[in-house]
Amino acid sequence: MSDVSATLEAARAELNARCDSIERCYEFMLAYAAQGLTSDKGSGSGTQLRDFLGKCDVALSDLGGFLTRFIQQLQVESMAPYTGFMAVIERDARDAQAAVRLVLAQPDISSQIVDNLNASIHLRALLTDLFLIDEVLKTYRRAG
């Protein structure tokens, strides 16, 4: 495997890990919101919630920059169509991260807070962004 191939595979693995952390957090929050808890304290799911949110926070950090560097490594014909969308992803990731950090800063995280975070357009928009870019990048996985 060439250095370029190894670098691309590492980037693909990191992208998959980031997307997985964000999606798993969202899915866990759906279940957490349905529990009707007033606090995350004293429950196993509360501990898991903070863990999922923490991993999501890490995955959101510099997501647009990471994706831009990844796409540059693919040596696409033109970066122009990607540049604008990377700005969208970066903005949505930054906005979603701000909401995640707000929730993490609370001494008690209720199911209602999590339900509102799940409903946040920022997090939902980011997930949709990631689904779209993942499908676009699949064409390079097949070609590469």
Residue type, 115: D
Counting the structural domains of the chain, the total is: 1
Task: Supply 86's token pair.
Answer: 């990377």
**pTM, entire model:** 0.89
Alpha-carbon gap, residue 61 to 58, rounded angstroms: 5
CATH number at residue 59: 1.20.120
SS3 content of the chain, % helix, strand, coil (to 5): 80, 0, 20
Inter-CA distances, 37 with 47, 61, 111, 120, Å: 13, 29, 5, 19
Alpha-carbon gap, residue 80 to 76, rounded angstroms: 10
pLDDT above 90 coverage of the chain, percent = 72
Which residues in the chain land under pLDDT 70?
Answer: 1-4, 141-144
Q: Which domain holds residue 33?
A: 3-143
Q: Check residue 88 and give its pLDDT.
A: 95
How many Cα atoms occupy the beta-carbon half-sphere of 39 within 13 Å? 5
